[in-house]
Structure 1
């Protein structure tokens, strides 16, 4: 007998596919998981979202869907990034309340944090100053998830919360060279360099530091948050500051996984960007002190193997 139905929005993306893989590896008894994408409902439209809720009748919701894009899209279309995300999350929360959903977990991003801050950043610092102006539409919209969660909890006692992952990578990522994040972009670049017999060139010095989380690790933590984490305040899901890695080390790990035999070159004439964005995972460790993150070289190896095997259908 099905007792719980979990609706996963954004279920066809990087994180949604990872959650699906985790659930299929150990199917929970008495639970049904429904993964939906943009073809199943327009979450910016109340009636479309309402129809989805009436079809699925969820008891829990993992809200991963968002209107996202690269740096230049964020700079050019701030109103659209603000408005579409606001509409999505408001429709989700209104319908979760109307349908008596027992638990809602929404996914934020580290871009919600202030542009000017101290490190390591933690969950208490989200509203301490404006985000970087380049993505303020998206960042301010996502900040309001935190505000809405607390308001619904205060007024209605709703169990709504949010998680904040750091840099995510893994199978089913966006490997497009123009608007992908750093690891999938470097994987695709290394693949093309190997095919062409050319040097694998990385923009910048390779010295900036980042905290990366493998999508399958994040999926496990999101399932845990859905089941066990009951604070309305957000929680950062990340490896610790001690596990920050340099972009150059990531590039060399990708080259090894690709069995790339050519030259790995760093173009120091190109800007490095922000040197680090260190986030604290102390709150997560208080809850899950024994959680084991996948070794980054192993995770990169699995991602490279998937990309090579699925190049024809991967998002490139």
Structure 2
């Protein structure tokens, strides 16, 4: 891949998109394009088509999505389904019609069935029912995966999908109404430490989750950019998981919170376990490098430095 290749990063201001931008910039890629949602509404098909016609990107990295945790997905199912379909369909179709050479579609491990065998393999897609608390987002992402596979199969184009496990890191969402589990915990323990209060967490703490630092995810995108991968779908993760209770105690120690932790068992746990089988991408030469404890410490340091400027709504 030439360092002057014109690369459009959709969602470049988000956690994943900004990490990809940083990674590519460090490697010397100097022809990167990014548009804010005010400059380009990715839900609008005509706007997206005009953008592709004018800019003619050679590579597209789709890191744009409507995202949120269990609460946000449960309260706004239509929004999570429709907006994600609109965003990815417009990008994929315009990329196809404007002769984009490589398209990298980023999704989520929630595309796999709730009760699929562990660890999750790519071939488990569409073999069972989804987790109800985020099925709307998952269905949209499955449609994106299949669209890229269809273009790859019918037109022999280099469209590839990367499905990361739970991501965290700089520029994460710390809004307690819409954030995912790890940033929500960081925020809760931080606030509780400041107020000398106990922390209340959802569920039993027994589900197991895998977490990947967003800078590792960015390196996986770089790997997909610089190599022709032989298959259309790859899991991206560490291949290691922890219980939510272990995660809570790890974050509590890093933040320095001294109080009690109360588990609200009336709240949903979600999927019992979500561990990714990352052997396919590993076989292609990529592996995660950032240890979970170190990654959480890096994320909390970033949070402390930027808390005045990030989204900090309360419940």
TM (norm. structure 1) is 0.90
Matched, 1:315 2:314: no
SS in 2 for 1:180: coil
1:125 corresponds in structure 2 to 124
Matched, 1:26 2:22: no
2:283 corresponds in structure 1 to 286
Greater Cα offset, 35-44 or 302-311? 35-44
2:235 corresponds in structure 1 to 236
Task: State how 1:142-221 maps to structure 2 within 5 Å.
Answer: 142-221=141-220
2:140 corresponds in structure 1 to 141
Q: Could you tell me how far apart the structure 1 residues matched to 2:302 and 2:82 are?
A: 35
SS in 1 for 2:31: strand
Q: Could you tell me how far apart the structure 2 residues matched to 1:155 and 1:60 are?
A: 19
Greater Cα offset, 116-125 or 167-176? 116-125
2:249 corresponds in structure 1 to 252
Q: Could you tell me how far apart the structure 1 residues matched to 2:246 and 2:3 are?
A: 46
TM (norm. structure 2) is 0.91
Q: Could you tell me how far apart the structure 1 residues matched to 2:64 and 2:166 are?
A: 17
Deviation of 1:273 (Å): 3.7
Deviation of 1:2 (Å): 6.9
Task: State how 1:44-59 maps to structure 2 within 5 Å.
Answer: 44-59=43-58
Q: Could you tell me how far apart the structure 2 residues matched to 1:244 and 1:132 are?
A: 18
Q: Could you tell me how far apart the structure 2 residues matched to 1:146 and 1:232 are?
A: 12
On the 8 A contact 1:112/1:131 being kept in 2, the answer is: yes
Q: Could you tell me how far apart the structure 1 residues matched to 2:31 and 2:236 are?
A: 25
Q: Gaps (5+ residues) in structure 1?
A: none
Q: Gaps (5+ residues) in structure 2?
A: none
Cα distance per residue 1:222-264 (max 9 Å; x no partner): 1111221433521000011xx211222222222232233x124
SS in 2 for 1:93: helix
Q: Could you tell me how far apart the structure 1 residues matched to 2:96 and 2:121 are?
A: 29
* Pick aligned residue for 2:296 from 295, 300, 310: 300
Q: Could you tell me how far apart the structure 1 residues matched to 2:296 and 2:83 are?
A: 33
Deviation of 1:82 (Å): 2.6
RMSD: 2.1
Deviation of 1:296 (Å): 0.8
SS in 2 for 1:61: strand
Q: Could you tell me how far apart the structure 1 residues matched to 2:284 and 2:60 are?
A: 21
